[in-house]
Amino acid sequence: MALCVTPCALHDAPAQQAPAPAPPAAAHARRLFGTDEPLPLTLTADWNAVLKDRGTERHPHDGVLSYTSGGDSVALAVTLRTRGHFRLRREVCDFPPIKVDFDRTQAAATVFRHEGSLKLATHCRDSRRFEEYLLEEYLIYRLFNLLTERSFQVRLAHVTYLDTAHKRDSLTRYGFFIEDDDRMARRNHTHVIKSTGISQEMTDSAQIGLIAVFEYMIANTDWSVGGLHNIVLTEDTSGTVYPVPYDFDWSGVILTPYARPDPRLGITSVRERLYRGYCRSADQFAAIFARFNERKDAIYALYRSQVGADPKRMEQALRYYDDFYRVINDPRLARREFLQTCKG
């Protein structure tokens, strides 16, 4: 299997530099998730060692994250770890997802201020097709942002990977940072809870209703509230529990080559939509559908304006969403897809 970065000499990669002791005042920037503008940056590390680290215990790897802000160069010492489960497998992804840990003191005057640890979604394999998959997953996070504040914020990055071991060519690909669980929870005046076995019915009705219809829209069945699978649970001071979804690479709207539906669900392709939420009245569903109708123009504009994405694939995704909107706005189809397949 071909690796994402070809093993060969890296002639022009600079040696790993010691990070600047304190970024200049001009390095102050908008908060990381305050813009949808892609952030150009460089991650310098021994990528040969990082990409081999796929065991059950991941090891920390020293690195430097550098970028330019307001004409000033910023270099931050970071620690990198491989992360994930399915995408960590070598037969699935040559380039696994990464977690980036920051020194809060050093990052205080940068765009990464207040960020102790961030997930970085990467391109999985070194091909344009996989970079498209990444951009489309990024757009799904953004789509859910349009529906609710109880969602993970993301920031697109254009990442250059430099190898200090001089064994791999430099490589520049899109990636995106995902808001930390605890920061997302605090932003919504909640805290993260780790309890398993909580049913959908035990969570906030409006939030879980929105999630279930959203997951149907993108054709993602790879989630579970009770099993905390691709779901984070947050709780407010009154004890109300709010689920928040993440990881959408198995969605039918993207159709990655490794995505397969659970055979127990009775569908044969991830392109087949399946509502996995609990039952509600037609009026309650109508109230949820209204949110999607209100945001439709913004959703379509989001896809059509995405930097770096293939316009043809964007239009294919929107045609797939056209089918969703046709269903939720036709009482007969909505009854078939939601009222007749819901749980309980």
Q: Assess contact for 179 and 34: CB atoms under 8 A.
A: no
- What average pLDDT does the chain have? 91
CB-based contact 100:117 (threshold 8 Å) = yes
What is the percentage of the chain residues whose pLDDT exceeds 90?
A: 83
Calculate ∠ Cα 105-246-243, nearest 5°: 95
Summarize the confidence of residues 122-143 as an average pLDDT.
96
Q: Are strands 154-163 and 39-45 parallel, antiparallel or unpaired?
A: parallel
Query: How far is 320 from 222, CA to CA, in rounded Å?
Result: 19
At 140 the pLDDT is 98
Residue 270, Cβ density class (10 Å: 0-12 exposed, 13-18 middle, ≥19 buried): buried
The maximal CA–CA distance of the chain, rounded, in angstroms, is 64
Indicate if the pLDDT at residue 14 is higher than 60. Answer: no
Region 183-212: what's the mean pLDDT? 97
Question: What is the pTM assigned to this prediction?
Answer: 0.90
Question: Mean per-residue pLDDT for 214-228?
Answer: 97
270 DSSP assignment: T
* Between 339 and 166, the higher pLDDT residue: 339
- Joined tokens for residue 113: 């201020």
What does the pLDDT read at residue 168? 83
Residue 16: pLDDT band with limits 50, 70, 90: very low
pLDDT band at 58 (very low <50, low <70, confident <90, very high): confident
**pLDDT tens-digit readout, 291-308:** 999 999 999 999 999 999
Distances (CA, A) of 78 to 29, 257, 323: 19, 32, 44
Q: Is the pLDDT of residue 24 over 70?
A: no
Question: Looking at residues 324-331, what average pLDDT do you find?
Answer: 98
Tokens of 83: 């992360």
pLDDT of residue 166: 84
pLDDT classification of 30: cutoffs 50, 70, 90: low
With a cut of 90, say whether residue 15 has pLDDT above it. Answer: no
Q: What's the rounded Cα separation, in Å, for the pair 232 and 131?
A: 26
Model confidence at 26, in pLDDT bands (50, 70, 90)? very low
Share of the chain above pLDDT 70, in %: 91
DSSP assignment letter at 6 = -
Which pLDDT belongs to residue 211? 98
Q: What is the mean pLDDT of residues 165-184?
A: 94
Distance CA 300, CA 288 (A): 18
